[in-house]
Structure 1
Amino acid sequence: MSKRPTLADIATAAGVGIATVDRVLNNRAPVRDDTARRVAEAAEKLGYHALGFISARDKRSLPAMTFGFVLSKEKQPFYQNLAREIEAAVTARRDIRGKAKITFVRATTPEDFCSAIKGLSEQCYAVAGAALNHPQVTRTVAEAAAKGVPFFSILNDFAEPSRSAYYGMDNMRVGRLAAWMLATKIRQSGKVAVFVGGSRWHGHILRETGFVSYFRDNAPDLHVLDPFVNLDTRQITYEATLDLLSRHADLRGIYVAGGGIEGAIAALRESRPAGKIALVGNELTDDRRAALSDGYMTMVISTPLETLCRNLVDHMIKAVLGEPNLPTGPQILDPLLYLPESV
């Protein structure tokens, strides 16, 4: 086992006295910023066990930046997971003193999203969020951008051309993946259903389009029913699923393109044996993991949230600092696929 580095080792590597290292480590007296950084770099290189204290001392000289994030559905596990990853990505940065300010809209209306975006743009260096595709929202983002506040869309690409970039999955591809899984699992004629959150969620519409196009091209024996709008809610999805099962004896599969899939899971648990109806949804949560394990879900297509948040925060910082030649197009992430045998 290698010897733990000492204060003397750090002092030698940094070219300072032991007393200076002690002052930096224990914040006993003021130390010049360049000296504190030199000590921190030496400690990091040597793997000193108290580096966290030195870094905290050194971090005072770093630029302070507050970033705003607009999310919805505060009680949904997916958005709770996303909020945690955002906080972690901002906290992990060692080149700034970052703070994440997250606003959850109470209702998914254009007015609520606009209010949240406007409020955060007045307090933050840059803003990101998932919101509706709506002219009013686009105008609000354009107004923030005109004042020098970069805005990034996540999960659902909206507010073009004013937004700085989009971070998320290729939603058309996600829909085709869902269709491929259902067709592969079903392997017989019948009907399949698709739920979307609403017509203003462009990502859901793209998923529906990819879903329908796959069946048209590759599985014509499976008829896709007209899409059901569930407003991303459990109760509407639950009631609609029970209705579908009662009216369509040849229903073979369901894809929930947005939220609310817990309602479909509950309806299937009440009325069908596990595996009788193939079910695909998005974003892995505890409920969906359990449904995969029990055989009530066939596949979950999930956003790599850690990667999304890490890359997003990096881009936001660079935009604030005015770095040139930053990408402005969609920054597409590969989906994570979860099957019953992989959870």
Structure 2
Amino acid sequence: MTRKPTIADLANATGLGAATVDRVLNARPNVSARARQRVTEAAQQLGYPLPRHLEDGLRDTRPDLSLGFVLHKKSQHFYQRFAQQIEAACAARPDARITCSIRFSVSQSPEDFVREIRTLADRCQAIAATGVNHASLTNLSAELAARHIPLFSLLNDFTGATGRGYFGLDNLKAGRTAGWMMATRLQRPARVAVFVGGTRWHGQAMRETGFRSYLREYAPAIHVLDTAINLETRQLTYEATLDLLTRVPDLDGLYVAGGGMEGAIAALREMRPSDKVTLIVNELTPESQRGLSDRYVTMVIATPLDQLCSALLDRMTGAILRPDEPGRGASGLDQQIYLPESF
């Protein structure tokens, strides 16, 4: 009786690891088009039964594209969901077979973002990334443009004139929306605070500007304290919020314009009754949704990730397949608003 070929046989025939062969056969992510081709050819030669998706691939005339993505905060729910939405959008593309490579920067330093983007530039035809505003990233954008590798900025517009587009919220509008909610909720003289992640996040600076400008225009009796830096970390935000509540016992509101809102929610739970301080945060996560439910959070301003990823994939694939199309443009998405009664 002729022995049936196995995954081990395919691995030996292709020179790939058994785990990679298994990912190809089961249509799992992070597999290159070349690996799919090698496994398909070896399966045909050895008589290994091809799964349906590889059989369909034999008749698939769509071009193979390799796209790279750099995110950060790998352990946070928002960025995990962002990665899942990117993978889903890549898999759903009707006009190309996309190999999707997602990497996470280990920190928010410019050097770490540059290193991850450079790694992807060696094997990807277009890249989209989060990143801080820094000369090293602006210069890298220009370098990639000279190599005809489009670079798109996500959530924070850091690429400068040589980037191929920004995908995220209109941050000035998001800040003004936060200001509107703060003024609408308080409707009296009050003291409020604002946290930003750092000085190199242009998007957060625009949110702060929008927040302050709305209150200055429509609620001048609300005094905004000096902006605090929380480095977008849960622990530092927690400690800074505890300190703020101790120093300013009559604090009426807090707007966390960047990350780290989990720390602010935890501090308020310890120091104040629910509904006592108007807290406005960004992005819907399990923590912010629980905060809304028990009224420690007043409003969440969220990014529509499904819309972002769909629009982003349109532009990334277009930049490769139709390179003569206009190069740069902004994509300011409409924000999603969640309130305590949204659930």
For Structure 1 versus Structure 2, the TM-score category normalised by the shorter chain is 0.7 to 0.9
1:287-336 deviation per Cα after TM superposition (whole angstroms, max 9, x unaligned):
10010010000000000100000110111001001343336221111000
Q: Which residue number in structure 2 is paired with residue 256 of structure 1? A: 256
Q: Which residue number in structure 2 is paired with residue 92 of structure 1? A: 92
Q: Which residue number in structure 2 is paired with residue 142 of structure 1? A: 142
- Separation (CA, whole Å) in 2 of partners of 1:206 and 1:94: 36
1:149/1:327 CA distance change after superposition, 3 Å: closer
- Is the 8 Å Cα contact of residues 118 and 144 (structure 1) preserved in structure 2? no
Structure showing greater radius of gyration is: 1
- Separation (CA, whole Å) in 1 of partners of 2:58 and 2:189: 65
Other structure's SS at 1:320 match: helix
Q: Which residue number in structure 2 is paired with residue 212 of structure 1? A: 212
Q: Which residue number in structure 2 is paired with residue 46 of structure 1? A: none
Q: Output the TM-score relative to the length of structure 2.
A: 0.83
Q: Which residue number in structure 2 is paired with residue 233 of structure 1? A: 233
> Could you tell me which amino acid in structure 2 is paired with residue 116 of structure 1?
E
> Could you tell me which amino acid in structure 2 is paired with residue 175 of structure 1?
G
- Separation (CA, whole Å) in 2 of partners of 1:136 and 1:88: 31
Instruction: Quote the offset at 1:159 in angstroms.
Output: 1.4
- Is the 8 Å Cα contact of residues 319 and 325 (structure 2) preserved in structure 1? no
Q: Which residue number in structure 1 is paired with residue 332 of structure 2? A: 332
- Separation (CA, whole Å) in 1 of partners of 2:228 and 2:336: 25
Instruction: Quote the offset at 1:173 in angstroms.
Output: 0.7
- Separation (CA, whole Å) in 2 of partners of 1:55 and 1:222: 65
- Is the 8 Å Cα contact of residues 197 and 229 (structure 1) preserved in structure 2? yes
Q: Give the superposed CA RMSD.
A: 1.4
1:259/1:175 CA distance change after superposition, 3 Å: same
- Is the 8 Å Cα contact of residues 105 and 112 (structure 2) preserved in structure 1? yes
Q: Output the TM-score relative to the length of structure 1.
A: 0.83
Q: Which residue number in structure 1 is paired with residue 165 of structure 2? A: 165
For structure 1, the 5+ residue unaligned runs are 1-51
Does residue 103 (structure 1) correspond to residue 95 (structure 2)? The answer is no
- Separation (CA, whole Å) in 2 of partners of 1:287 and 1:59: 46
- Separation (CA, whole Å) in 2 of partners of 1:228 and 1:241: 10
Instruction: Quote the offset at 1:59 in angstroms.
Output: 5.7
Other structure's SS at 1:95 match: coil
Identity of aligned residues (%): 50
Q: Which residue number in structure 2 is paired with residue 341 of structure 1? A: 341
1:71-127 deviation per Cα after TM superposition (whole angstroms, max 9, x unaligned):
111111111111110000001112211021111011111111111111111110100
Other structure's SS at 1:205 match: helix
Instruction: Quote the offset at 1:54 in angstroms.
Output: 9.3
- Separation (CA, whole Å) in 2 of partners of 1:137 and 1:243: 34
> Could you tell me which amino acid in structure 1 is paired with residue 227 of structure 2?
P
- Is the 8 Å Cα contact of residues 59 and 94 (structure 1) preserved in structure 2? no
Other structure's SS at 1:70 match: strand
1:38-92 deviation per Cα after TM superposition (whole angstroms, max 9, x unaligned):
xxxxxxxxxxxxxx75983466432111101111111111111111100000011
1:217/1:127 CA distance change after superposition, 3 Å: same
- Separation (CA, whole Å) in 2 of partners of 1:233 and 1:55: 47
Q: Which residue number in structure 2 is paired with residue 277 of structure 1? A: 277
